[in-house]
């Protein structure tokens, strides 16, 4: 139905232009709030009423008359009605709805995708410091970020997936001391155990392999341990490489890949942090106060100015020690480098605890004067995930010591369940992951509900071919036979897929794909309950199988968009069902 909508869009623009030349409205069809009102709705009459100083219903009637004069409307629209204060509802002819089946069968995996645009987009996500296993919050980031990348690619963007991590600083120093303590034979609870140390079992694993002089290889580094418990630098490098390797395994198990890893330490070693600070000082956007260097971030909408470099301190021997940079300063340097690498759009997927850094990072980028537009970069912030198992909240993982890991969730359920569940709510809403629900083989489990729809269709298609039917002939089916209400509803839902992808990509809302997949599965299940497919009328059977094949394809496309498999068989769909 893509070409039908395109033709009707042109007709709408021509009709509005004829009654309101130079109107300046962004015209688009909407979906009526109730399916009984029609297939498409137009609200342009109400938007034009005030500037034209006309009654909206009178304008709606004029617009209806103008639309009826358009060839595309005559070809594809069955009726136009005015409702309420000036809504125009369009009911499409059956053949207009039926065109979507042909489009899906012809385009296959490409249905809903746009041509390559050349726009370069970077999505930074997960970005976990190598101090422990990935937790469920990282898992939500991974699911959101990867699905968002898939969405943007579907709309023609050239996307780079980037992982940024702190390979230095206080947390890494604590990691090294924790591993060293374990290597010395200490354990949590011992009198000499460092107070701030990490307590998970993984620390003991790192210490054991360090003493064995093991070599570990991650996607971005490889390192061989010295085995010397007094060599803290070697312990630090080995621990970072070890945990980067563990994170790689977590991400591989989750089906997530990255194109580039970026080290915070490189911002200092390359001089980018100092260069960023010098830019801000030279631009007159900083000042000294109390021995600290401040950024005039209030000039750019922040609620207060921010410290860039802390005031100097005096060590135990009376020597003055220059204060270090606060954590948002390397973020500014990092994002300047993102801009310099040519990414017109940058999206950061982070936890909601990063909300306070947005204003100061954007202020620093504006103040640097390197041409970065206001409001750059974009952010997708997600809230926490609560894990429930056996009716109780799970807070501690033995492996991690203090939190549930991503690997725990995958081991308890499945990759598909974790990915679908973590993408099935808006990022800015808190989410409860119910392990027991994720294991259920019924319609209450959303990922099973969608995958079962796909498997159910595959079962019917298999029965069709076993009975001598040829799937290759479905493209020639008489689609005019598809007139049942459930068929109409299913075709209209299929037709929404391309627009849903475009809207979800624009809104940075990958959860919309999960919502759509559930709705499409629901429309199919209703169709399955209402009609038989392998009927004696060969042409009707072929038409209905064509619709099923199109539905299967779009379900598979939507599941792939969120990184979830589209199985041909599930337990409840493995055997033929009499309703087919």
Sign of dihedral through CA atoms 464, 468, 470, 476? negative
Using the predicted structure, report yes or no on whether residue 38 has a pLDDT greater than 90. Answer: no
Contact assessment for residue 307 and residue 292, using Cβ atoms and an 8 Å cutoff = yes
For the chain, how many residues are written?
580
Mean pLDDT of 137-162: 97
Q: What is the token pair recorded at 202? A: 């993984």
The per-residue pLDDT for 315 is 58
Q: What is the token pair recorded at 397? A: 């993982």
d(CA 215, CA 205): 13
The per-residue pLDDT for 138 is 95
> Residue 51: which pLDDT band, with cuts at 50, 70 and 90?
confident
> Residue 34: which pLDDT band, with cuts at 50, 70 and 90?
confident
Mean pLDDT of 69-83: 94
d(CA 39, CA 99): 14
d(CA 423, CA 512): 9
d(CA 524, CA 452): 11
The per-residue pLDDT for 118 is 85
* Placement of tokens 């409860």 in the chain: 432
Q: Of 67-71, 455-459, 574-578, which range is least confident? A: 574-578
The per-residue pLDDT for 573 is 44
Contact assessment for residue 411 and residue 419, using Cβ atoms and an 8 Å cutoff = no
Gyration radius from the chain CA atoms: 29
Mean pLDDT of 451-461: 97
Kindly report the CA angle at 471 between 469 and 476, in degrees rounded to 5? Answer: 100
Domains of the chain with CATH codes: 2-92 (3.30.1360.70), 270-381 (3.40.50.620), 446-573 (1.10.730.10)
Using the predicted structure, report yes or no on whether residue 317 has a pLDDT greater than 70. Answer: no
Phi/psi at 351 (5° precision): -70, 155
At 101-127, the pLDDT tens digits run 999 999 999 999 999 998 999 999 999
> Residue 572: which pLDDT band, with cuts at 50, 70 and 90?
low
Using the predicted structure, report yes or no on whether residue 59 has a pLDDT greater than 50. Answer: yes
At 374-395, the pLDDT tens digits run 999 999 999 999 999 999 999 8
The per-residue pLDDT for 575 is 43
> Residue 314: which pLDDT band, with cuts at 50, 70 and 90?
low
Mean pLDDT of 44-68: 91
Contact assessment for residue 148 and residue 498, using Cβ atoms and an 8 Å cutoff = no
DSSP assignment letter at 163: E
Rounded to two decimals, the pTM is: 0.90
At 528-566, the pLDDT tens digits run 999 999 999 999 999 999 999 999 999 999 999 999 999
Mean pLDDT of 299-326: 79
The per-residue pLDDT for 400 is 62
Q: Of 160-174, 211-225, 315-329, which range is least confident? A: 315-329
d(CA 531, CA 543): 13
Using the predicted structure, report yes or no on whether residue 576 has a pLDDT greater than 50. Answer: no
Q: Of 142-146, 224-228, 394-398, which range is least confident? A: 394-398
d(CA 403, CA 137): 10
Mean pLDDT of 307-332: 78
Q: Which residues have a Cβ under 8 Å from the Cβ of 360 and sit 6 or more positions away?
A: 295, 297, 302, 306, 328
Q: Of 2-6, 34-38, 66-70, 160-164, which range is least confident? A: 34-38
315 vs 402, higher pLDDT: 402
């Amino acid at each position: 139905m893509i070409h039908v909508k395109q033709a009707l869009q042109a007709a709408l623009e021509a009709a509005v232009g004829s009654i309101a030349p130079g109107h300046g409205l962004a015209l688009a069809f909407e979906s009526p709030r109730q399916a009984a009102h029609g297939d498409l709705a137009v609200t342009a009459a109400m938007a034009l009423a005030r500037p034209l100083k006309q009654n909206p219903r009178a304008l709606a009637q004029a617009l209806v008359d103008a639309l009826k004069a358009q060839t595309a409307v005559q070809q594809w629209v069955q009726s136009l009605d005015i409702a309420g204060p000036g809504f125009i509802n369009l009911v499409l002819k059956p053949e207009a709805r039926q065109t979507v089946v042909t489009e899906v069968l012809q385009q296959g995996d490409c249905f809903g995708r746009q041509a390559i645009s050349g726009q370069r987009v970077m999505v930074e996500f997960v970005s976990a410091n190598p101090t422990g296993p990935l937790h469920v919050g990282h898992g939500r980031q991974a699911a959101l970020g990867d699905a968002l990348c898939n969405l943007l690619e579907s709309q023609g963007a050239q996307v780079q997936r980037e992982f940024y991590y702190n390979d230095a600083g206080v947390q890494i120093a604590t990691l090294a001391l924790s591993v060293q303590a374990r290597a010395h034979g200490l354990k949590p609870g011992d009198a000499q155990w460092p107070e701030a140390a990490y307590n998970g079992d993984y620390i003991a694993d790192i210490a054991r392999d360090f003493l064995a002089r093991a070599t570990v290889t991650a996607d971005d580094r490889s390192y061989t341990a010295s085995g010397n418990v007094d060599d803290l630098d070697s312990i630090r490098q080995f621990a970072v490489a070890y945990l980067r390797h563990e994170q790689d395994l977590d991400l591989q198990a989750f089906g997530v890949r990255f194109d580039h890893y970026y080290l915070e330490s490189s911002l200092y070693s390359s001089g980018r942090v100092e260069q960023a600070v010098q830019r801000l000082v030279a631009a007159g956007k900083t000042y000294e106060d109390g021995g600290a260097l401040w950024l005039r971030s209030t000039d750019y909408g922040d609620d207060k100015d921010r410290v860039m470099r802390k005031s100097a301190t005096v060590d135990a021997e009376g020597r003055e020690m220059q204060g270090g940079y606060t954590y948002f300063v390397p973020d500014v340097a990092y994002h300047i480098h993102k801009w310099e690498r040519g990414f017109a759009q940058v999206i950061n997927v982070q936890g909601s605890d990063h909300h306070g850094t947005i204003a100061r990072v954007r202020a620093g980028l504006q103040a640097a004067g390197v041409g970065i537009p206001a409001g750059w970069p974009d952010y997708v912030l997600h809230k926490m995930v609560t894990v429930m198992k056996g009716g109780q909240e799970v807070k501690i993982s033995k492996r991690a010591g203090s939190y549930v890991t991503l690997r725990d969730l995958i081991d308890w359920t499945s990759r598909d369940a974790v990915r679908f569940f973590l993408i099935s709510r808006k990022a800015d809403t808190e989410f409860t992951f119910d392990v027991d629900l994720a294991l259920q083989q019924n319609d209450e489990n959303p990922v099973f509900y969608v995958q079962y729809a796909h498997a159910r269709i595959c079962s019917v298609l298999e029965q069709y071919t076993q009975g001598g039917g040829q799937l290759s002939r479905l493209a020639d089916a008489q689609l005019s036979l598809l007139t049942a209400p459930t068929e109409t509803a299913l075709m209209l839902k299929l037709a929404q897929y391309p627009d849903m992808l475009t809207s979800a990509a624009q809104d940075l809302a990958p959860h919309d794909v999960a919502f759509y997949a559930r709705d499409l599965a629901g429309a199919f299940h209703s169709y399955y309950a209402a009609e038989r497919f392998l009927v004696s009328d060969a042409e009707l059977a072929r038409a209905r199988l064509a619709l099923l094949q199109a539905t299967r394809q779009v379900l598979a496309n939507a599941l792939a968009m969120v990184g979830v498999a589209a199985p041909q068989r599930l337990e409840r769909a493995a055997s033929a069902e009499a309703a087919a």
